[in-house]
């Protein structure tokens, strides 16, 4: 049975992959694919890029909700504490996390509005939600890098612990008689 920290690490690793794919597909859609169903990039059509972007975004959103649920006790403990009473690192973490959360929610809502506008044929009216989706998505990505920086020591320690433990278990399974 995995400990809570290891389970959280693997959720975070899955989230990282989903969000990396969402960001990469979003960048491709934003910069390299014109608004045309016949447009293609790297051998894939725009509708395929949109589908991958939407699916990975939905998976990331579900993972983020699970991540917040798993950290709820910590978040609740901080809720009533004034920022000035927190250590500098904790204060930075709280500010970055809140801004990240707000940007993620705004990017998700604007992306959904943009997608709905395209589905219902309002192609001329999608400029604002689409541009806001990109702006909030870029802000979220920058804040995510800051968030990862604030947790760099934990990430490095968990990578060593989880991956070296996996290698040791695999090695033990290859040993005859174990």
Residue 79 has pLDDT above 70, yes or no: yes
**Domain-located, residue 178:** no
**Any long-range contacts for 158-166 (C-beta under 8 Å, 24+ apart)?**
158/5, 158/6, 158/9, 159/9, 161/6, 161/9, 162/6, 162/9, 162/10
Q: Do residues 27 and 96 both lie within one domain?
A: no
**Residue 115 domain boundaries:** 71-164
Q: Do residues 53 and 76 both lie within one domain?
A: no
Spatial neighbors of 159 by CB under 8 A, at least 6 apart, are 9
pLDDT, the chain, mean: 83
Model pTM? 0.75
Q: Do residues 108 and 139 both lie within one domain?
A: yes
Q: Do residues 78 and 126 both lie within one domain?
A: yes
Q: Do residues 104 and 39 both lie within one domain?
A: no
**Domain-located, residue 114:** yes
Please write the tens of the pLDDT for every residue from 120-136: 766 555 578 888 999 99
Q: What is the mean pLDDT of residues 70-93?
A: 83
Q: Do residues 51 and 83 both lie within one domain?
A: no
d(CA 39, CA 27): 15
Spatial neighbors of 5 by CB under 8 A, at least 6 apart, are 158
Please write the tens of the pLDDT for every residue from 164-177: 765 555 555 556 65
Around Cβ 67, how many Cβ atoms within 10 Å?
16
Q: Do residues 138 and 77 both lie within one domain?
A: yes
Query: Three-state DSSP class for 39?
Result: coil
For the chain, the domain total comes to 2
Q: Do residues 156 and 117 both lie within one domain?
A: yes
Give the N- to C-terminal CA distance of the chain in Å, as an integer: 19
**Domain-located, residue 43:** yes
Q: What is the mean pLDDT of residues 65-93?
A: 84
**Domain-located, residue 177:** no
Q: Do residues 81 and 143 both lie within one domain?
A: yes
Q: What is the mean pLDDT of residues 29-36?
A: 82
């Amino acid at each position: 049975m995995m400990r809570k920290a290891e389970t959280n690490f693997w959720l975070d690793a899955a989230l990282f992959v989903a969000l990396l794919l969402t960001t990469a597909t979003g960048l491709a859609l934003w910069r390299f694919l014109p608004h045309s169903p016949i447009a293609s990039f790297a051998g894939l059509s725009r509708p395929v890029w949109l589908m991958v972007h939407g699916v990975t975004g939905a998976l990331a959103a579900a993972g983020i909700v699970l991540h917040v649920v798993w950290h709820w006790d910590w978040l609740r403990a901080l809720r009533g504490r004034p920022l000035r009473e927190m250590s500098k690192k904790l204060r930075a973490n709280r500010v970055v996390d809140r801004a990240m959360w707000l940007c993620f929610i705004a990017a998700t809502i604007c992306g959904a509005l943009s997608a709905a506008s395209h589905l219902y044929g309002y192609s001329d009216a999608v400029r604002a939600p689409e541009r806001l989706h990109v702006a909030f998505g870029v802000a979220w990505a920058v804040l995510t890098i800051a968030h990862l920086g604030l947790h760099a020591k934990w990430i490095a320690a968990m990578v060593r612990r989880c991956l070296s433990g996996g290698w040791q278990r695999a090695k033990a399974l290859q040993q005859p008689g174990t």
